[in-house]
Structure 1
Amino acid sequence: MSKLTTDPRPSHEKNAEITMAIPEKGIARDAILSELRALKQDDFDWRGGRLPSYTYYLDEKTLDLQRDAYGEYISENALGAGRAFKSLEIMTNDIKAMSKSLFHAPAGAGASFTSGGTESVFMAVKTARDRARYERGEPHGRYRIVSCVTAHPCLDKAAQLLDVDVIRTPHDTEFRADADLMRAAIDERTIMLYVSAPNFPFGTFDPISKIGALAEETMLWLHVDACWGGFLSPFAERLGYPVPLWDFRVPGVTSLSADIHKFGYAAKGASIIIYRSSEIQQFETFSFSGWPRGTYVTPTFLGTKAGGAVAAAWAVMRNLGMEGYLRAARETMEATTKLVAGLNAIPEIKCLTPNGESNLVTFVANDPALDIYAVADRLEAKGWFRGRMRDPKGIQQGVNPAHLPVVQDYLKAVREAVAFVKAEAIRDTAYDERSY
């Protein structure tokens, strides 16, 4: 990977925090674009499979369609969908319908288009909270959500903003939620059970059928976080991979979130939140009339929304179709399988969950003398950006079709990194806890 040795900007612009200001005279378009391209040279090569997440790349054809569709709606604001921009309402409704069909939502299900998984989860928590406040007659009631420790941190972000408490229970030996421990954590203030399909640290599915039965028994809201795998798992299942039931086919599932801008290959930000019943959505909507302008209503958290994100998601979903998504899933899961097999063939390391359920891989040191973070450092120095696990200490990554052509290159880099760290007896004392 090419790395810039110097910042391409003029010296007076390098310390942007201190010196950057809007220029008195505008800079020419070509100069700006040239500067952008120069700046990007210092980024990791996501097209070449060097990133474990952040980007979800299928091919240039799909990327070009993203750009073109987004560009057609780069100025339109989806806040005005249905009034100023009727086309955005049509596309949004199409996206909802396609998603509900994919996830086996029943007739009468409701849905909203959001900017990403964090907003989708936020809306699930907000809607569950407001419904509970209404049903319990507690306008300011404070409640609890029970999840596994592996639940994505966006749950706690939403809960913190909404004055809800999250109770995280330990995972079992297979890195899944333990339904019995979740049951034991339920009390009279609990309003929601939260499960992952799959969880991000380990790539395993929580026992959603079992927890769905618990949700029905206790009459609690059950949210399924499928933000990572929602647009991969249905296709991996069709290809014969051992994906457990996780969507609305499971009785007890109340809501489900899935990111279209991950393995739906839409432009960011595009996600979907689906509710088993559209009646629930009365508690999702924000409405305010206490100002001179009139009633202001939004279905989700954001006001202004990028029309381009709606258009790109609509275009890509229809362009790829089931055939295209099956191809993408086949390449992704083939790359994952080859990666796991190759990593497990290196004696000093081992993968934690080579179960074929998802495209998330975590590997740890099999040799106590090997510092796995030092291996990650060496890989990054060679151009392979790595995600790092804290508990247990390991290297974690997601897999997408861009990784399939470079699996052997990456395995060679891992073998070299392991040998280098062992030979130099390197210990890495610094740890960057950022996992996303």
Structure 2
Amino acid sequence: MGKLISEWRAWANRALSEYEPLALLLFPLAAFLLASLFPLIFRLLDHPGSIKGALFSIVMAILRLIPGVTGYIEREKGKVVDKLQASVKSGRENWQTELPRAGLGIGVLERLKFEKSKDVQWKGRCSGTVYIGGSESDGHFSLINEAYSMFAHTNPLHLEIFPSIARFEGEVVAMTASILGSREKTSGGQICGNMTSGGTESILLAVKSSRDYMKAKKGIVKPEMIIPESAHSAYDKAAQYLNIKLWRVPVNGDFQADVKAIQRYVNKNTIMIVGSAPGFPHGIVDPIEELGDLALQFNICLHVDLCLGGFVLPFARKLGYPIPPFDFTVQGVTSISVDVHKYGLGPKGTSVVLYRNHEIRKHQFVAVTEWSGGLYVSPSVAGSRPGGLVAGAWAAMMSVGEEGYLEATKKIMEVSKTIQQGIKQIPGLFVLGRPDMTVIAFGSDEVDIFKVNDVMSSRGWHLNALQRPNSIHICLTLQHTVIAEDFLKDLKECVIAVQENPNAFEDGLAPIYGAAAKMPDRGTVQDLLIAYMDSTC
């Protein structure tokens, strides 16, 4: 045996003696690199529509393989946080840091009014943010405020004391489910759920429930989930909180979830996949039916993020718009998140998480029996919750009704079409994909779209900056139904301004445009962020 090994070594040394030592060193490294990048290269060849995204992923993967690069990236992230924390005093000079010696009593209302007067004038100028139409002093705003004040002292944690809140929450959940598939014949049991503080908590609970459901059903103890690149960052938060491995997959050429690419990441540890209706960046509905088929094929969960679309898409479909399937009528869907505080026109801090059946939902609950305080059962992240918000959401849905939501949807869908068409007519701009709803993302191959966004900011418009590709979007609400012409006029003028003098905006706004700004400058915004970080430490 020893002789055979010696002969093999001699043969190998003779065969390799013709090669340079450097080549022998680089060959295994190149092979390792190719093996690491193979999934990305395969995706690039198989899906030419997502070439930019795949190429970016390949470049980033190569860079991260270089010794020291990953550490450098993490150090740079740390520098940003350190800079914010080191500059904290600049944002807190006039903040109240101790209790007043004598309480202000009712005089505090004047202080509240004064501080509120310094907020940005948001009416009709912000992307999303405020979804209710009209003024804060009348109409729907007043109704919600009154409903909240009536139940501001209540807490859903104590249902035996506040049965009214228990009923309101149950009815909000049932009414929401009724527009998202419970009226239809859906297999798997009765649709159920809970109210939450917002879309992030709804998503967090859906991920937690899916993780524990898959552990009980399939014994998965090293959970993984797969999401499109366009899925909300709440999934990253959920993955970090719940110790779940997260895979982000590039979208296809239409900015939709790439189902074939997602399938390649499915393995024995996969607990769930995700679709959005629509996705926050581009306002485009993912192919939920295809994702549902994939979930059924591999016996895993499918969560649909309807935080934006839950109170628009069902009514848009009734109005005749070509809306693809997106709710529990798709058999593979196991959970849905939908925000009442967006197009449901409810108070901020109200959302709903829904499940196809009680078997999945029961994994959302936390029950504690071992501590000395007795049995503790909680369905949500928070223990105590503001009952006033539950009452406000119920009041909003009951006051608007189906006819009201149809009317609101018609208005915002019409203004969405108007603004889409207007953007396409501005030389140098293009709309990304084919928006299904009220979010319109647009970019440019001729001007720096972020500089355009800067100039728009100087005119009081608050839009969202996007990446991959560089673009900005506007999320249209009832506040925008009367400002379409103003928006398009300003946008066209801002594009021309950047085209004519692009160097004037290298590090922010040129003085001529910044002089009439209606929003805090970047330094002020940074100070506010710094102060907020410090105040919450």
TM-score normalised to the size of structure 1? 0.90
Structure 2 distance, partners of 1:72, 1:53, is: 28
Superposed, 1:127-206 pairs within 5 Å as 127-137=209-219, 141-206=221-286
Q: Secondary structure at the match of 2:157?
A: helix
Structure 2 distance, partners of 1:207, 1:52, is: 25
Distance 1:338 1:44, change over 3 A: farther
Out of 422, 442, 445, the position equivalent to 1:363 is 442
Structure 2 distance, partners of 1:134, 1:34, is: 55
Structure 2 distance, partners of 1:148, 1:326, is: 30
* Higher normalized helix content (fraction of residues): 2
Which residue matches 1:252?
332
| Letter aligned with residue 391 of structure 1 | R
For structure 1, the residue ranges without an aligned partner over 5 or more in a row are 1-12
Superposed, 1:267-306 pairs within 5 Å as 267-306=347-386
RMSD: 2.0
CA displacement at 1:366 relative to structure 2: 4.0
Is residue 55 of structure 1 aligned with residue 130 of structure 2? yes
Is residue 415 of structure 1 aligned with residue 497 of structure 2? no
CA displacement at 1:90 relative to structure 2: 0.8
Out of 206, 226, 232, the position equivalent to 2:306 is 226
CA displacement at 1:64 relative to structure 2: 1.1
String of CA shifts for 1:170-212, please: whole Å, max 9, x gaps. 1000000111111111011001011111110111111110111
Matched positions, count: 413
CA displacement at 1:418 relative to structure 2: 1.6
Which residue matches 2:431?
351
CA displacement at 1:97 relative to structure 2: 1.1
Which residue matches 1:217?
297
| Letter aligned with residue 171 of structure 1 | V
Structure having the higher Rg: 2
Is residue 65 of structure 1 aligned with residue 65 of structure 2? no
CA displacement at 1:428 relative to structure 2: 3.9
Out of 24, 29, 33, the position equivalent to 2:109 is 33
CA contact (8 A) 1:44 1:50 kept: no
Structure 1 distance, partners of 2:294, 2:266, is: 10
CA displacement at 1:28 relative to structure 2: 4.7
Which residue matches 1:117?
199
Superposed, 1:390-401 pairs within 5 Å as 390-401=467-478
CA contact (8 A) 2:130 2:479 kept: no
| Letter aligned with residue 211 of structure 1 | L
| Letter aligned with residue 225 of structure 2 | I
Is residue 76 of structure 1 aligned with residue 154 of structure 2? yes
TM-score normalised to the size of structure 2? 0.74
Q: Secondary structure at the match of 2:361?
A: helix
| Letter aligned with residue 212 of structure 1 | G
CA contact (8 A) 2:227 2:248 kept: yes
Structure 2 distance, partners of 1:33, 1:284, is: 40
Percent identity between the two aligned chains: 33
Structure 2 distance, partners of 1:351, 1:137, is: 45
| Letter aligned with residue 404 of structure 1 | T
Q: Secondary structure at the match of 1:192?
A: strand
String of CA shifts for 1:128-155, please: whole Å, max 9, x gaps. 11122223446xx221011111110001
Which piece of structure 1 moves more, 187-196 or 421-430?
421-430
| Letter aligned with residue 126 of structure 1 | K
CA contact (8 A) 1:195 1:208 kept: yes
